[in-house]
Structures are given as C-alpha cells and as structure tokens.
Amino acid sequence: MPVKGFTWNEEYRKKFYDSEKVKDHLDNFVKQASQPKTEAQKTKMSIAKTGRKYSQEHKDNMSETHKFRQALKKEILTKYPEMPADELWKQVRARMEE
C-alpha cells in the first residue's frame, strides 16, 4: 500500500516543530493540561485506570526503574542536601538519560 502524506524524518520533524502554529498549539495545550483538575475529571481518570492489567515483565521494568530513580535521587541529595525539589528531579532525569 503506498504511503500517503509526509514521512517523519528529522528534517520534516524539525520544520514541523519550528512552525509558529505548532508552537502556539503546544503552548496552549500545556497551559490547559497544567490547570487543576475538577473532581469529575479526577473520577473519570481514576475509572479509566481501574482494572488495568500489566504483564509481569512490565511490572518488573517499572519496579526496576523506580528503584533506580530513587537511588539516583538519594545519591544527588547526599551531595547537595539543600537542592530544591524541581532542580533535583531535573538532575535525576538528566542522569537517567545518560
């Protein structure tokens, strides 16, 4: 079956995300998504997650990642105990990507 539309290569991806229209849309989306949730929204999200099944492999991966993330957090906090929480998690994310 022939491919229709654009192919998402690096050149097209860069051009797409540099577009002012896309930047405005993403900014608006982030602004809306960061608003406090109503009780009705919280209930709907909770119901959507209820009963979700994860494979044992997925559970093991989540557990391993959580333990690794917490170990990095403790390691950074021992070196810099006064570091603010937002900066701490930025450091943890950066170290996890390495």
* Predicted confidence (pLDDT) per residue in 19-77, tens digit: 999 999 999 999 999 999 999 999 999 999 999 899 999 999 999 999 999 999 999 99
- State the pLDDT confidence band at 7, using cuts at 50, 70 and 90: confident
- Whether residue 3 has pLDDT greater than 80: no
Residue 12 reports pLDDT greater than 70: yes
Q: What is the CA radius of gyration of the chain?
A: 20
Written as one string, the DSSP assignment of 32-90 is HHTSPPPHHHHHHHHHHHTT----HHHHHHHHHHHHHHHHHHHHHHHH-TT--HHHHHH
Distance CA 68, CA 62 (A): 10
The model's pTM is 0.52
Structure tokens at 26: 């993403």
Tell me, what's the pLDDT at 68? Answer: 94
